[in-house]
Amino acid sequence: MRAKAFAPALGQGSPASTFRARPGFLHEMALRPSLYLMVLPGVLFFLIFNYLPMVGLAIAFVDYSPIAPFFGLGSRFVGFENFRFFFTSNEWSRITLNTFYLNALFISTGLITQMLLAVGLNEMRVQGVKRVSQTLMFLPNFISWTVVSVFSIALFSTNEGLINKFIMAFGGKSVNFYQTSSVWPGLLVALRLWKGAGFGTVIYLSTIAGISHEIYEAATIDGASRMGRIRYVTLPLLKTTTAILLIMSIGGIFNGDFGMIYALIGDNPMLRSTTDVIDTYVYRALRLNNDYGMSAAVGLFQSIMGFVFVVGANAIAKRLDSESALF
Amino acid sequence: MTRTIRLLCALLTASMLLAGFGGAASAEQPKQVTLEFLAPSPVSQVNDMDAVLAKVYEQTDPTLNVRINYTFTTFDDIGQKASLKMSSGEPLDFVFVAQWTTPSLAQMVSKGLLVNLDTYIESGEYPGLAQYFTGDLRDNNAVTDAAGETHLYALPFTNAYSGGGAIYYRKDLADKYGVEISDYDSLTAFFDAILENEPGVAPFSFLGSTDSINGTIADLYRSEAYTSQHNNFLVSDVSIVIGEDGKAYASRQVFPELDPEYWSRLPDYRKAEDPLLSYKLAREWYEKGYLESDLLSQKDYEGQFMAGRAASFPRAADTYMDTVARFKTAMPDAELGLFMTELGIRHGVDKASGSDFRAWNFGAIPTTSKNIDRTVGFLNWIFEDPANHDLLELGIEGKHWIAVGEHQYSYPEGIDLSQNYNFYGYVLTWNPLLVRDHADTPAFISEIYQKMRDPNFYYKRADAGFTFVTDTIKTEVAKINDLKSLKRAVENGVVEDYEGEMTKIQAQYEAAGYWVVVEEMERQFNEFLLENPYTGQ
């Protein structure tokens, strides 16, 4: 704005005036020092905790020894040798697909449930009920997966599990959950929703709170019912938030949730075909070797894939609706 | 700026001068240093540690003048914490290490992370260490380094030459149903009685999420204590058998009983058996309900037992007193029984039980330590006098414990055991020559301990002292590590068609490069046998 107003006075066309009309970055900083000072802690935070550690990616290309110079980065260079372990295994495509499939399930069911729960909560008229249900939905988020695993044993175990006791009480045959791999993607999704969906509604609730009342009033005057208002006002206005949440979660689509899967499944060979993800595979294969190089190589692979997917998802979002894109 | 630099220079000069004067002032008492010790422990803080250390310093100050700062961590992350501390340059002077830590003792040595203690012990300046870490204990616990030399890189802390495999069971229930457990048949009769009369109680619970039980079941079933032809064993998950020509053969089959070449080299009593005996028995136990249906997810088998949901569980006999104490708190009205599964000890037969004579716990000095001499000096002090050793292991005599003869101890009357000094000796002080047992240890347990501490009771396993070096095949080893747990479903009787499953697992192992590992193992083991020939044990 300023530059525009300024430019005619200097006379358009001359190179010098163009230069002055678009002040450089340093000039810009000098003009607004307090603003840049305010952004400094954030920039430093990301520089120190997110960018500086990237130097450690070099570990993926060396035969790591902790006493080598530069925190072990000076170990013997081995090129792509550390990647051989993962990419020459028979398992890598299956576990990569598993990781992708499970995360896609988690992300899609998670976003849909969160959105529906938020809309539902928003429509509740009795404040007391709303608060109680919100608290009950939030609580599971603070229980660790290790504790959830104890619950899950109490629920799913063959002889003493609550579900099997229930089935047997009605004359059914008990299900051996811990030996039936096909049921686990569903169980994992259910447990994850129970644990996380309530807490995930926060962002949606705040977006809904930001929707202007005038739009709802206008819709009501136009004769929209309650369902109509949800369908034609609330849900369309949640589109941008959903797209942003989706793009952010896609970044981690190749990172299996080790904490959850290892706590619930452990190293159960009978459940491997559907629950084995990159992170559990790496843990099993490398726990005994303590080879930092090989682990770092797999981590690098996951990050690159995550990066490609984020950029891809963002590009698609941008094409569909430029406001939904993250960058 | 210049002022700051000047100030820094002045401070630096002053501290250098002070350091110089300090050294010159007393030639006998060196400048005080704090030694950083890192070890795993079930408790994050040892009760009364400061009082005990104060007593230690009273004696060590004139000559060593050290302070000990112990950092305790958990068993599963001790290795990782140690290597992180070393790589980040944090001070670390003494670290707990073992063959089961990650990185393991052998891995640390091959990367040059640990100080060679032989040079110190052999120097003659450390008589305490030289007296207690010598002969077989030293030889059997030495490790081969990257240069191919074998040295003592870590002090072995052990009280016995095996843990003494055993099953702990509910003796009150066995008595109730009139079963006296003494062999395979009476054990299964006990299980049957539990299944019939105690709903909701599993006859036998074990760590099915990581362990396999078929080998133990087959040994229980055979029940004979053989004293020779121990020519087959598992090394790093490869089954090895030594033939009559004295050469090792590594089974090409993951389930070695299926490999005719392997089978033909086994002792006669084994060849007379059904090759799949152990798998059949495991399946039988599972089908009958002796084993828990969800055993593959069982992580807290001992908790099951202590909560009354299991009637027995496997655990080594060396933890008897500790287990009894916890059992008494958990189930005050019940009674605990112990049934030895280690056949040599159960039948009292010499040379029927094997040992590699290696300790299960070690302590070492990282090469990054700045206080190597002082640390060795402190370790030497512990073993210079049994009283020093007992002070660190049991606490202050009269306050924390009372000596009963030369080899036992008891607690002072009225002492609150939950507040008493509770240092775990396996991280610093255990030694077969310096053991004290609690005076209340029952006679039958003392007898078992006596055998476990007698090196002549055991035969030396043919693989004792062998380390499998995997540097050249680490990709294949990693891929195979991933598959190991697949075997568990078969070995624990969970799979109905176990023969079909064995074929599938074999195919997966072969695709992961199993034969590369097997052939390398066979080559390295045969090389090892040239120096350490099999003598028919």
- A173-226 pLDDT, tens per residue? 889 999 999 999 999 999 999 999 998 899 999 999 999 999 999 999 999 999
Contact A178 B209 (CB under 8 A): no
Q: Which of residues 162-191 of A touch B (CB under 8 A)?
A: 176, 178-179
The enclosing domain of A172 has a CATH number of 1.10.3720.10
In a domain, A34, yes or no: no
Position A286 pLDDT exceeds 80? no
> Once rounded to an integer, what is the mean pLDDT over residues A138-145?
93
Query: What is the model's pLDDT at position B123?
Result: 93
Q: Following CA atoms B514, B493, A148, B300 in sequence, which dihedral angle do they give, to the nearest 10 degrees?
A: -100
CA angle A185/A188/A191 to nearest 5° reads 150
Q: Residue B383 corresponds to which amino acid? A: F
Question: DSSP states of B153-188 as a string?
Answer: -SEEE-S-SS--EEEEEEHHHHHHTT----SHHHHH
Backbone torsions φ then ψ of B170, nearest 5 degrees: -80, 95
Give the A window 114-143 contacts with B, CB below 8 Å: none
pLDDT at B375 over 90: yes
Q: Do B161 and B452 touch, CB atoms closer than 8 A?
A: yes
**What DSSP state is assigned to residue A93?**
H
What Å distances lie between residue B49 and B52, B395, B397, CA to CA? Answer: 5, 8, 14
Show residues of chain B in contact with A159, CB under 8 Å.
Answer: 200, 292-293
**What are A62's two structure tokens?**
């060396």
Domain count along chain B? 2
Q: State whether B512 and B461 are in the same domain.
A: yes
Q: pLDDT tens, A93-102?
A: 889 999 999 9
Nearest by Cα to B174 from B203, B135, B133? B203
* Coil vs helix vs strand at B194: helix
Domain-embedded: residue B47 = yes
Q: How many angstroms separate the CA atoms of A149 and A153, rounded? A: 6
Kind plus residue range of the DSSP H or E element containing B150: strand B150-151
**Spatial separation of the C-alpha atoms in residues A169 and B36, rounded to whole Å:** 60
Q: Which whole number is the average pLDDT over B486-502?
A: 94
Average pLDDT over residues B282-304: 92
Of A88-97, B155-164, B195-204, B335-344, least confident by mean pLDDT is A88-97
- Between B266 and A283, where is the model more confident? B266
DSSP letter (8 states) at residue B329: H
Measure the CA–CA gap between A293 and A75, rounded to whole angstroms: 10
Does residue B13 form part of some domain? no
Q: Indicate if B335 and B373 belong to the same structural domain.
A: no
* Nearest CB to A269 within list B86, B112, B296: B296
- Which residue type does B54 have? A
Distances B401 to A145, B60, B394 between C-alpha atoms, Å: 42, 22, 7
Residue range of the domain that includes A170: 89-324
- Spatial contact of B251 and B518, defined as CB atoms under 8 Å apart: yes
Chain A, chain B: beta-carbon pairs less than 8 Å apart:
106
- Mean residue pLDDT across chain A: 87
**In the prediction, which pLDDT does A20 show?**
53
Model confidence pLDDT, tens digit, residues B89-122: 889 999 999 988 878 898 889 888 999 999 999 9
Whether residue B1 is contained in a domain is answered as no
Residue A22 lies in a domain: no
What DSSP character marks residue B34? E
A267 with B485: Cβ contact below 8 A:
yes
- Read off the amino acid at residue B489: A
Residue closest to B205 by CA, chosen among B220, B218, B194? B194
Burial of A255 (0-12, 13-18, 19+ CB in 10 A): middle
Q: Cβ of A266 under 8 Å from any chain B Cβ? A: yes
Residue A55 included in any domain: no
Length of chain A: 327
3-state secondary structure of B275: coil
- Average pLDDT on A80-95 reads 87
Helices marked H in A11-76: 15-21, 25-31, 33-46
Same domain, B331 and B373: no
- Give the rounded percent of residues in chain B with a pLDDT score beyond 90: 65
Q: Which amino acid is at B310?
A: A
Are both B364 and B352 inside the same structural domain? no
User: Does residue B200 contact residue B293 with C-beta atoms inside 8 Å?
Assistant: no
Residues B404 and B478 in one domain: no
Q: Quick one: B166 and B131 in the same domain? A: no
For B80, name the nearest residue in chain A, comparing CA atoms only.
A290
Best to test chain A binding among B211, B477, B482, B504 (most A CBs inside 10 Å): B482
Chain A: residue whose CA lies nearest to B369? A67
pLDDT surpassing 60 at residue A10: no
pLDDT at B1: 43
CB B505 within 8 A of CB B487: yes
Q: Is the pLDDT of residue B23 over 60?
A: no
Residues of chain B contacting A267 with CB distance shorter than 8 Å: 209-210, 485
Which residues does chain A have within 8 Å of residue B494's beta carbon, measured at their own beta carbons? 179, 270
- Are residue B400 and residue B327 in the same domain, yes or no? no
- Looking at CA atoms only, how far is residue A180 from chain B in angstroms? 11
User: What number of other Cβ atoms are within 10 A of residue A200's Cβ?
Assistant: 20
Q: Are the beta carbons of A47 and B441 closer than 8 angstroms? A: no
CB within 8 Å: A65 and B485: no
Inspect the interface and report whether the beta carbons of A72 and B87 lie closer than 8 Å: yes
pLDDT attached to residue A15: 45
What's the CA angle centered on B372, arms B368 and B373, to 5 degrees? 160
Give the pLDDT score at A17. Answer: 45
For residue B126, tell me if it sits in a domain. yes
A contacts of B487 (beta carbons < 8 Å): 269
- Are B306 and B407 part of one and the same domain? no
Lowest mean pLDDT among A157-161, A311-315, B346-350, B358-362: A157-161
CATH number, domain of B281, equals 3.40.190.10
Residue A206 lies in a domain: yes
The better pLDDT of the pair B67, B326 is held by: B67
B184: closest CA of chain A, how far (Å):
26
Burial class (CB in 10 A: 0-12, 13-18, 19+), B527: exposed
Q: Nearest residue of A to residue B296 by CA position?
A: A268
Report chain A's terminal Cα–Cα distance, integer Å: 23
> What is the token pair recorded at A282?
């790496």
Interface contact A286-B103, CB threshold 8 A: no
Q: What residue of A is the nearest CA neighbor of B110? A: A65
Question: B508–A272: do the CB atoms touch at under 8 Å?
Answer: no
Q: Does A237 touch chain B (CB under 8 A)?
A: no
- Cα nearest neighbour of A157 on chain B: B294
Phi-psi region of B115 (alpha: psi -120 to 50; beta: other; left: phi over 0): beta
Strand order in the sheet with B408-410: B402-404, B408-410, B437-438
B8 inside domain: no
pLDDT band at B469 (very low <50, low <70, confident <90, very high): confident
Is A7 part of any domain?
no
Q: Is the predicted pLDDT of residue B10 greater than 70, yes or no?
A: no
What is the average pLDDT across A216-244? 92
- The residue of chain B with its CA nearest to that of A262 is B297
Are B425 and B463 in a shared domain?
no
Interface of B with A (CB under 8 A): 79-80, 83-84, 86-88, 102-104, 107, 111-113, 200, 209-210, 292-294, 296-297, 299, 367-368, 470, 474-475, 477-479, 481-482, 484-489, 494, 508, 511-512
Same domain, residue pair B225 and B288 = yes
Q: Do B297 and A266 touch (CB under 8 A)?
A: yes
**Chain A residues with CB inside 8 Å of B304's CB?**
none
Measure A29 CA to nearest chain B CA, in Å: 26
Residue B6 lies in a domain: no
What pLDDT score does A119 carry? 94
- Which conformational region is residue A153 in: left (phi greater than 0), alpha (psi within -120 to 50 degrees), or beta? alpha
A196 in a structural domain: yes
Asked, for residue A223, whether it belongs to a domain, the answer is yes
Share of chain B above pLDDT 70, in %: 95
- With tokens 């081969």, the residue in question is B144
Chain B residue with minimum CA distance to A273: B486
For residue range A21-43, list pLDDT tens digits in order: 566 888 888 989 999 999 999 99
CB-based burial of residue B264 (10 Å sphere; 0-12 exposed, 13-18 middle, 19+ buried)? Answer: exposed
pLDDT in the model for residue A8: 40
The total of other beta-carbon atoms located within 10 Å of residue B514's CB is 22
Q: Does A89 touch chain B (CB under 8 A)?
A: yes
Number of domains in chain A: 1
Percentage of chain A beyond pLDDT 70 is: 92
Phi (first) and psi of residue B117, to 5 degrees: -85, -15
Contact B293 A281 (CB under 8 A): no
pLDDT at B26: 46
- Provide the pLDDT for residue B27: 53
Q: Is the residue at B72 inside a domain?
A: yes
Final residue of a structural domain among B375, B400, B429 = B429
Q: Is A287's CB within 8 Å of B481's CB?
A: yes
At position A80, the amino acid (one-letter code) is F
Q: DSSP labels for A95-120?
A: HHHHHHHHHHHHHHHHHHHHHHHHHH
Q: Domain check: are B299 and B372 in the same one?
A: no
Instruction: Say yes or no for a CB contact (<8 Å) between A267 and B210.
Output: yes
Question: In angstroms, rounded to a whole number, what is the distance separating the alpha carbons of residues B93 and B115?
Answer: 10
Task: Report yes or no on A13 lying in a domain.
Answer: no
N-term to C-term CA, chain B: 76
Distance CA B237, CA B257 (A): 14
d(CA A203, CA A137): 14
Domain boundary among B394, B429, B464: B429
**Given a cut of 90, is residue B195 above it in pLDDT?**
yes
Please state the ipTM of this predicted complex: 0.76
pLDDT of residue A142: 93
Provide the shortest C-alpha distance from residue B100 to chain A (in Å). 9
Position B6 confidence tier, pLDDT thresholds 50, 70, 90:
low
pLDDT at A9 over 60: no
Residues of chain B with C-beta less than 8 angstroms from the C-beta of A89: 479, 482, 512
| Residues B462 and B520 grouped into a single domain | yes
Helix or strand holding residue B447 (H, E): helix B443-452
Range of the domain at B405: 29-114+116-152+360-429
Q: How far is CA A70 from CA A56, A58, A74, B90, B367, in A?
A: 10, 11, 6, 14, 17
What is the pLDDT at residue B13? 46
d(CA B478, CA B472): 12
Residue B523 has pLDDT above 90, yes or no: yes
State whether B209 and A267 contact (CB < 8 Å): yes
- The Cα B226–Cα B273 span in angstroms is 15
Across the range B300-311, mean pLDDT stands at 91
Q: A99-138 burial, b for 16+ CB within 10 Å, e for fewer?
A: bbebbeebbeebbebbbebbbebbeeeeeeeeeebbeebe
For the residues of B107-118, what is the DSSP string, one character each? HHHHTT-B--SH
pLDDT of res. B321: 87
Greater confidence, B38 or B464? B38
Residue B15 lies in a domain: no
Q: B468: distance to nearest CA of chain A, Å?
A: 13
* Average confidence score pLDDT of chain B: 89
Q: Does the pLDDT of residue B508 top 60, yes or no?
A: yes
